[in-house]
Amino acid sequence: MSDDPLVWATPAGTPSLGAAQGLGHRLFSRFRIGTRLAAMMALAALVSALLATMGVRGLAAANESLRMVYETRMKPVRNLDQVAHLMLSNQLQLQLALARPGDSDLTERGALSPELARQAARAIESNMLEIDRLWEEYSRAPKEQTETDLAERFAHERAVYLSAGVKPAIAALRSLEHHSAQRMAGTVHRLYERARPEIQALINHQFEQAHAAYEAGVRRHALTLQLSLGALIVSMLVLGFLGAMLIRSIVRPLQAVGTVFRRISAGQLDSHIVVEGKDEVSTLLFELRAMQRRLLTNEKAIYDLAFFDPLTHLPNRRLLRERIQNTLDAGADDAAHRALLLIDLDNFKNINDTLGHQVGDQYLVEIARRFSAIVRPPHSVARIGGDEFVVLLDHLPAAEAPALARAQAMAQELLDGIARPCELPGQVHHGSASIGICLFRRGGTTIHELLKRADTAMYQAKNAGRNAYRLFDPALQAELETRAALQAALREAIGADQLALDFQVQVGLDGHAVGAEVLLRWHHPVHGSVPPAQFIPIAESCGLILPIGQWVLQQACAQLGAWAAAPHARHLDLAVNVSARQFRSPDFVAQVREALAQAGAPPERLVLELTESLVLDDVADAVDRMQALSRHGVRFALDDFGTGYSSLAQLKHLPLHQLKIDRSFVRDIVHDRGDAAIVQTIIGMAANLGLCVIAEGVETPAQHQTLRRLACTAFQGYWFGRPQSAAQFEQWLAGAGAAPPTSPTPSEPTDATTTLP
């Protein structure tokens, strides 16, 4: 389970991001991803446009500088240069006109070549026109003050040159006046020399200006280049940073979403998801958080359902088992004792039956509340069934005595807690419980075994009268286990042909056999010969007595049927023991009648032995059933008589035929006057009620004599014959049993009695 907060800005497992980054994420997450991407694209487009504009403008500026160099500086330079050349040309034309070809001394001769003079005049005129045009063109261009000043000075010299030099020179040429021409040539030359520095100054000025413009252009170009590159780098950095932030603002939250998914799929539902921002991923995280909460709620509900009792909210059997297992699995060095206290509320069923299940539930909730208040960690309490709770005491002392004392103290505390009056709708209930305590240590046993031990001890507490606790007793446990094993084996007994019937003779006063009692035998291949006193109660408790009893009845009736056809045996009664559950079964009467009919046995020879407790449990019903069968001819004997404190008043309503004096009175009858008195009373009482009497367990001639003296008329016991198989019994009947004995001879312990007293 992790407590890391899972914020989309700081995904799980990552140390928290820097403050600026966190801020950036928070800023970004305010906008949807689409908006963010569109804004980024727009910004990139804007930066590109700015860069392009900057470049274009820089190029334009550089271009303008070049144009300026050429247009406003180089062209005038050329014009001015031409003007200078034209003026020089005038100079040369005049010298050409004055110098006759082949004539070295023209001055002296005083004549001009007309043709050359005219040519020179025309050329000079043309030059002057061209100079005017060039100057005109130059003059039109705007100028700064320095240039204007220089231009005006040259214009003045040019005007002087024209008026005082060139024009008179042209006139002299046209008039072919050599001398004048020669003189004017000198003037023109002089004026030209005067004007030349002025125009040169202008040209130089232009060159300087052109150079300045050129240098400005170069600087502008370099600046543009630097600015563009700088802007490009800066914008690339800014856009790169923003792009990285943008990518991160999308990728990191998506990673966080992935982490959440991983944790959820791994079943870890307690991550603290903090959702910031309003973008798509935030929405997704928000939904995830809602989903996680729902899953957590559901998981908790599932966990509660699986491990807790919905009514009391206490741990259920499953969680208890886990906890017990943990204590059993404790480390080898753990010598501490633990204890299980199995608590079963006494008579809880009564609350349910009388006040209703809702009140029963209320009572359980209140008891659970009291237990929870008493049992504090490291101990725990669980509800494992309707009214069954288990307290697991952990970390008890390693020594047994103090551990036991602590467990007993806790049991007493729990009993006290339950004993406090509980206000229920309709009544104030004073409850109690039975608690079974079982002490244990790590390893060596199983949960099942521990719960079984606690259960055994709890039943001991119940049997001890409830509202008590008992410690687990291994001897009792062994007995119960044997009982359970016998019960399982008994289920197979009839089918496996392990049951058999023995017959024990009953004799009359004259020593003749008057009947026999059928005694059930169980020969188990492993358990050996199991005495009926051991397995009949088991068969009773688990209901197996019904099929077994029916089988005994059928076998006994079959034997009666067989005896009815044998002259030496047809006078014998056959007594069959009937258990309470068998007698109370709805179709018991029908079963007996059917068994008799099927075997063709005479009903008047059948004696059913009932016990006092069986009959007295519900006298009216017993009387009904007995009468129904009595009408059919069947008779009844009251077995083990004298042990059940029957009252005479009740006995006289029963359609009984015989009382069987329990052998506990016969055992010491010879020496114990009390027993003899009881037997005498029973015999007297039977005579008053018109009942026959038979004494059980007659083992010695002395007992026989005493009983005879007390007017007992029939006897059963080892002295006359031990229980034996049908074949042995018939063999005995056919022999010595048919004739009345003259003197009593004790029976051999193992063999059937062949000689009667």
Nearer to ligand C2E, 366 or 517 (CB): 517
Of the candidate residues 170, 285, 578, 638, the single one contacting ligand C2E (CB under 6 A):
578
The DSSP code sequence of 86-97 is HHHHHHHHHHHH
Q: How far is the CB of 303 from ligand C2E (least distance, A)?
A: 52
Encoded tokens for 282: 């935030």
- Cα separation, 429 vs 418, in Å, equals 10
Distance of CA 680 to the CA centre of its chain: 78
3-state secondary structure of 469: strand
Query: Are the C-beta atoms of residues 138 and 80 closer than 8 Å to each other?
Result: yes
Of the candidate residues 315, 717, 737, 757, the single one contacting ligand C2E (CB under 6 A):
717
Nearer to Mg ion, 157 or 696 (CB): 696
Q: Binding to ligand C2E (CB under 6 A): which residues in 632-671?
A: 639-640, 663
Nearer to ligand C2E, 317 or 523 (CB): 523
Q: How many C-alpha atoms does 411 have within 13 Å on its Cβ side?
A: 28
Of the candidate residues 276, 361, 388, 699, the single one contacting ligand C2E (CB under 6 A):
699
Q: How many CB atoms lie under 10 A from the CB of residue 610?
A: 23
Encoded tokens for 722: 């031990």
- Cα separation, 452 vs 13, in Å, equals 49
- Cα separation, 535 vs 100, in Å, equals 178
- Cα separation, 185 vs 640, in Å, equals 188
Nearer to ligand C2E, 536 or 682 (CB): 536
Does 573 participate in binding Mg ion (rule CB under 5 A)? no
Nearer to ligand C2E, 351 or 574 (CB): 574
Q: How far is the CB of 433 from ligand C2E (least distance, A)?
A: 35
Does 612 participate in binding ligand C2E (rule CB under 6 A)? no
Name residue 138's amino acid. Answer: Y
CA angle (558, 563, 566) in 5-degree steps = 140
Encoded tokens for 349: 């069923």
Does 577 participate in binding Mg ion (rule CB under 5 A)? yes
Which residue stretch of 99-107, 142-150, 163-171, 531-539 sits at the interface with ligand C2E (rule: CB under 6 A)?
531-539
Question: What contacts 145, CB < 8 A, 6 or more positions away?
Answer: none
Of the candidate residues 533, 620, 648, 649, the single one contacting ligand C2E (CB under 6 A):
533
Residues of the chain by 3-state class (helix, strand, coil), percent to 5:
60, 15, 25
Which residue stretch of 306-314, 344-352, 601-609, 685-693 sits at the interface with Mg ion (rule: CB under 5 A)?
601-609
Q: Which does 197 bind (CB under 5 to 8 A by kind): Mg ion, ligand C2E, none?
A: none
Nearer to ligand C2E, 182 or 611 (CB): 611
Q: Which does 573 bind (CB under 5 to 8 A by kind): Mg ion, ligand C2E, none?
A: none
Dihedral sign (CA 44, 45, 51, 55): positive
Does 640 participate in binding Mg ion (rule CB under 5 A)? yes
Nearer to ligand C2E, 20 or 533 (CB): 533
Q: Which does 532 bind (CB under 5 to 8 A by kind): Mg ion, ligand C2E, none?
A: ligand C2E
Does 206 participate in binding ligand C2E (rule CB under 6 A)? no
DSSP class of residue 315 equals: B
- Cα separation, 599 vs 415, in Å, equals 58
Does 24 participate in binding ligand C2E (rule CB under 6 A)? no
Of the candidate residues 315, 697, 737, 757, the single one contacting ligand C2E (CB under 6 A):
697
Q: Binding to Mg ion (CB under 5 A): which residues in 682-701?
A: 696
Does 718 participate in binding ligand C2E (rule CB under 6 A)? yes
Q: What is the number of helices (H) and of strands (E) in the chain?
A: 26, 19
Of the candidate residues 639, 676, 733, 752, the single one contacting Mg ion (CB under 5 A):
639
Nearer to ligand C2E, 531 or 633 (CB): 531
Which residue stretch of 57-65, 361-369, 430-438, 711-719 sits at the interface with ligand C2E (rule: CB under 6 A)?
711-719
Distance of CA 415 to the CA centre of its chain: 37
At residue 524, φ and ψ (nearest 5 deg) are: -95, 135
Which residue stretch of 18-26, 188-196, 444-452, 515-523 sits at the interface with ligand C2E (rule: CB under 6 A)?
515-523
Q: How far is the CB of 503 from ligand C2E (least distance, A)?
A: 11
Which residue stretch of 159-167, 350-358, 631-639, 702-710 sits at the interface with Mg ion (rule: CB under 5 A)?
631-639
- Cα separation, 374 vs 351, in Å, equals 23
Report the residue count for the chain: 757
Q: Which does 717 bind (CB under 5 to 8 A by kind): Mg ion, ligand C2E, none?
A: ligand C2E
Give the interface size with Mg ion as a residue count (CB under 5 A).
Answer: 5
Does 744 participate in binding ligand C2E (rule CB under 6 A)? no
Does 757 participate in binding ligand C2E (rule CB under 6 A)? no
Does 577 participate in binding ligand C2E (rule CB under 6 A)? yes
At residue 724, φ and ψ (nearest 5 deg) are: -145, 165
Question: What contacts 67, CB < 8 A, 6 or more positions away?
Answer: none
Dihedral sign (CA 301, 307, 310, 312): negative
DSSP class of residue 510 equals: T
CA distances from 591 to 518, 625, 627, 629 (A): 17, 12, 15, 11
Q: Which does 346 bind (CB under 5 to 8 A by kind): Mg ion, ligand C2E, none?
A: none
Q: Which does 531 bind (CB under 5 to 8 A by kind): Mg ion, ligand C2E, none?
A: ligand C2E
Name residue 597's amino acid. Answer: A
- Cα separation, 151 vs 139, in Å, equals 8
Q: Are strands 388-396 and 337-345 parallel, antiparallel or unpaired?
A: antiparallel
Nearer to ligand C2E, 276 or 699 (CB): 699
Query: Are the C-beta atoms of residues 279 and 9 closer than 8 Å to each other?
Result: no
Nearer to ligand C2E, 120 or 538 (CB): 538
Does 346 participate in binding ligand C2E (rule CB under 6 A)? no
Does 721 participate in binding ligand C2E (rule CB under 6 A)? no
Does 519 participate in binding ligand C2E (rule CB under 6 A)? yes
Of the candidate residues 344, 366, 609, 730, the single one contacting Mg ion (CB under 5 A):
609
Does 506 participate in binding Mg ion (rule CB under 5 A)? no
Q: How far is the CB of 579 from ligand C2E (least distance, A)?
A: 4
Name residue 330's amino acid. Answer: A
Q: How many CB atoms lie under 10 A from the CB of residue 314?
A: 24
Does 504 participate in binding ligand C2E (rule CB under 6 A)? yes
Nearer to Mg ion, 366 or 640 (CB): 640
Q: Is the peptide bond before 76 cis (omega within 30 degrees of 0)?
A: no
DSSP class of residue 379 equals: S
Q: How far is the CB of 747 from ligand C2E (least distance, A)?
A: 9
Q: Which does 682 bind (CB under 5 to 8 A by kind): ligand C2E, Mg ion, none?
A: none
Q: Which does 361 bind (CB under 5 to 8 A by kind): ligand C2E, Mg ion, none?
A: none
Q: Which does 366 bind (CB under 5 to 8 A by kind): ligand C2E, Mg ion, none?
A: none
Of the candidate residues 29, 209, 434, 579, the single one contacting ligand C2E (CB under 6 A):
579
- Cα separation, 181 vs 94, in Å, equals 8
Q: How far is the CB of 326 from ligand C2E (least distance, A)?
A: 48
Query: Are the C-beta atoms of residues 292 and 269 closer than 8 Å to each other?
Result: yes
Nearer to ligand C2E, 279 or 573 (CB): 573
DSSP class of residue 102 equals: T
Place of tokens 């009959």: 615
Distance of CA 209 to the CA centre of its chain: 90
Which residue stretch of 26-34, 213-221, 270-278, 713-721 sits at the interface with ligand C2E (rule: CB under 6 A)?
713-721
Place of tokens 């687990």: 472
3-state secondary structure of 31: coil
**Residues interacting with Mg ion, by CB under 5 A?**
577, 609, 639-640, 696
Binding site for ligand C2E (CB under 6 A): 504, 518-520, 531-533, 536, 549, 552, 577-579, 609, 639-640, 663, 696-699, 716-718, 723
